[in-house]
Amino acid sequence: MTYAQEKKSNPIDAQQSSQTGGATVASSNAGAKDAQMTQGFSLESGAIANTLEKGESAKPGCNPYGTFNYYRSNGALGSCYFGKIDGKPIYEHTVGRLLQLTNSGSTLNFSYTDGDQPRTVQGRLFALGKYQIIPDTLRAAQIATGMKDDDLFSPRNQDICFSKYLIAEKRPAIMNYLLGKGSIDDAARAVAQEWASVGIKPGTINHYNITGKDSGKTSYYAGDGVNSASISYAEIVEALKADKASIEAGGLANNTVVHGNTIATSSPTQEAAPKPAEPVANSAKIDT
C-alpha cells in the first residue's frame, strides 16, 4: 500500500508511471445482457491481483474489498479488515461519500469486530479496498474510468480501478510488459512503486536510497517509518509472468465501470457481492 505517497512521495515518481441503501446486486453471469464483462483474461482475477491481496488487504475471514486504512487522531495509521461505516462495508458506499470521508477535516467512528466483541475507533479514511487505493489515486481513477461520485465503490468498480487505471495508465510499465512491450524488471519496480507491500529487486535502490536486501523484501518506501514489504521481488516476478502468459493465451478483457447503486461483482461465477465471513479476531494494527 502507498501510505507514504500522501505526505512523503516524490513528485517525479507520481508524475511518471506516475489501496447505499436499497442497493441491488448484479451478477456478471448475465451473458449478452451484461455489457460490462467481455471475453478474455481479466487482470483482477489474475496472479498479480491475488499476490497483492496477500500483502495489501487480506486477513483470514475478511472480505478484501471491505478493507480500509485510516489516520487516527494522533496521526498514526491503522488498518481495519472487518470495519463498517454507518453499518455498511465500504463497497456499499458511493465513491463520492468515501472521498468526502478522506478529507483532512473528516473524522468518524468506524465499527469493527474483535473476536465477538464490537468496537469502535475514530479516524479519517485513507487507503481503500482490495487494492488500497489512496484518495488522490481514486480521484484520478474516476477520470480515467468514467466512474461517478454516485457510483458504488463496489468490488467490480474496485477491480476496474485496478486494471484500467493503476495497471494500464498510472503504472504503464506493468501493462507494457504484460503486452510484450517492456521489461519484467521495469514492471516489477512499477508494482513496488504503487504497492509498498511489494519488495524491490535485490541490489537496486528504493525511494529513500536504501539498497534492496537479498531477500527481495525491501519496500520501495522502506525508510519512511511506516512501510515494509511482505511480498518478495521473486513472488511478484512470477505473478507478472503468469498474467503475461494468460494474456498471450486468451487476450485481455475490456471490462468497464458499473454505474449507479449496483453492488456488481467481477467474477462470472459470482452471483452476489462478497459478504464478510463470520467474525474472527481483527488485526493487531488497530489500537482502541
212 occurs within a structural domain: yes
Quote the pTM value. Answer: 0.77
Is the pLDDT at 287 greater than 50? The verdict is: no
Distances, alpha carbon 49 to alpha carbons 199, 214, 240, 243, in Å: 15, 24, 10, 10
Is the pLDDT at 31 greater than 60? The verdict is: no
Alpha helices in the chain (DSSP H): 11-15, 47-56, 95-100, 135-145, 155-160, 172-178, 184-194, 233-250
277 occurs within a structural domain: no
The b/e string for 219-231 (b: 16+ C-beta within 10 A; e otherwise) is bbbbbbebbebeb
272 occurs within a structural domain: no
240 occurs within a structural domain: yes
257 occurs within a structural domain: no
**How many domains, in total, are found in the chain?**
1
What is the rounded average pLDDT of the residues 193-212?
98
What is the rounded average pLDDT of the residues 45-66?
91
What is the rounded average pLDDT of the residues 219-232?
93
Is the pLDDT at 10 greater than 60? The verdict is: no
pLDDT exceeding 90 applies to what percent of the chain?
A: 52
Lowest mean pLDDT of 100-109, 171-180, 196-205, 217-226, name the range.
100-109
d(CA 97, CA 86) in angstroms, rounded, equals: 11
288 occurs within a structural domain: no
Mean pLDDT of the chain: 79
63 occurs within a structural domain: yes
C-alpha cell of 281? 479476531
262 occurs within a structural domain: no
Cβ neighbours around 95 below 10 Å, total:
24
Q: What is the pLDDT of residue 78?
A: 85
d(CA 24, CA 29) in angstroms, rounded, equals: 15
C-alpha cell of 191? 508494482
Q: Which residue has the higher pLDDT, 144 or 8?
A: 144
Which strands, in side-by-side order, build the sheet including 77-80? Answer: 77-80, 68-71, 117-128, 108-114
Q: What is the pLDDT of residue 77?
A: 86
Is the pLDDT at 266 greater than 60? The verdict is: no
C-alpha cell of 147? 466512474
Is the pLDDT at 37 greater than 80? The verdict is: no
Nearest in space to 18 (alpha carbons), one of 195, 160, 171, 209: 171
Work out the pLDDT band at 48, boundaries 50, 70, 90. very high
What is the rounded average pLDDT of the residues 134-158?
96
d(CA 218, CA 205) in angstroms, rounded, equals: 9
Got the DSSP string for 2-40?
-GGGTTT--HHHHHS----TT-B---S--GGG-TT--SS
Q: What is the pLDDT of residues 82-97, one digit of tens each?
A: 888 888 999 999 999 9
